[in-house]
């Protein structure tokens, strides 16, 4: 089972992403908490791309593909913005964030915690982030 969604780089499109993922994930064996975690992870990566890589330029777009195969959920996020390799991201020290009262910086940490595997690939200006979640057999 697979589905695709094309999102223009405008944060208002995130509601379409949430609905797309909710509709797709409801048919999986993931429980409610796991579905919510996947949704948050995909939304975090996509929001960061829209805001930071594309500067909310609504003439540009991001492609989100979902696939379930052999007990594994795979979400591919394709874009042609400034590349950001999620695997190179160093998690901030929580104490440092609290002390400096800095907002942000936790989203990628949550993506890494919620997903079972993450891959990043870039080829020129084409970037692909793959997020994987093992499906529980029930």
pTM of the predicted model as reported, rounded to 2 decimal places = 0.84
* Domains by residue range for the chain, with CATH: 2-134 (3.30.565.10)
Q: What is the pLDDT of residue 98?
A: 54
Classify residue 105 as exposed, middle or buried by CB count within 10 Å of its CB (0-12, 13-18, 19+).
middle
Q: State the helix-helix crossing angle for 107-114 and 32-48, rounded to 10 degrees.
A: 140
Q: What is the pLDDT of residue 77?
A: 96
Per-residue pLDDT of the chain (138 residues; tens, 9 = 90+): 889 999 999 999 999 999 999 999 999 999 999 999 999 999 999 999 999 889 999 999 999 999 999 999 999 999 998 766 566 656 656 565 556 555 555 677 888 899 999 998 888 889 999 999 999 754
The DSSP secondary-structure symbol of 91 reads: P
Q: What is the pLDDT of residue 108?
A: 77
94's enclosing H/E stretch is: helix 94-100
Q: What is the pLDDT of residue 95?
A: 62
Q: What is the pLDDT of residue 130?
A: 96
């Amino acid at each position: 089972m697979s589905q695709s969604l094309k999102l223009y780089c405008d944060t208002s499109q995130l509601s379409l992403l949430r609905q797309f993922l909710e509709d797709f994930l409801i048919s999986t064996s993931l429980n409610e908490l796991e579905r919510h975690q996947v949704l948050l992870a995909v939304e975090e990566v996509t929001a960061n791309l829209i805001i930071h890589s594309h500067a909310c330029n609504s003439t540009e777009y991001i492609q989100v593909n979902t696939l379930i195969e052999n007990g594994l959920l795979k979400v591919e996020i394709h874009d042609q913005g400034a590349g950001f390799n999620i695997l190179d991201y160093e998690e901030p020290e929580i104490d440092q964030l609290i002390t400096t009262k800095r907002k942000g910086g936790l989203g990628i940490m949550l993506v890494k915690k919620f997903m079972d595997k993450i891959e990043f690939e870039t080829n020129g200006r084409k970037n692909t982030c793959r997020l994987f979640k093992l499906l529980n057999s029930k």
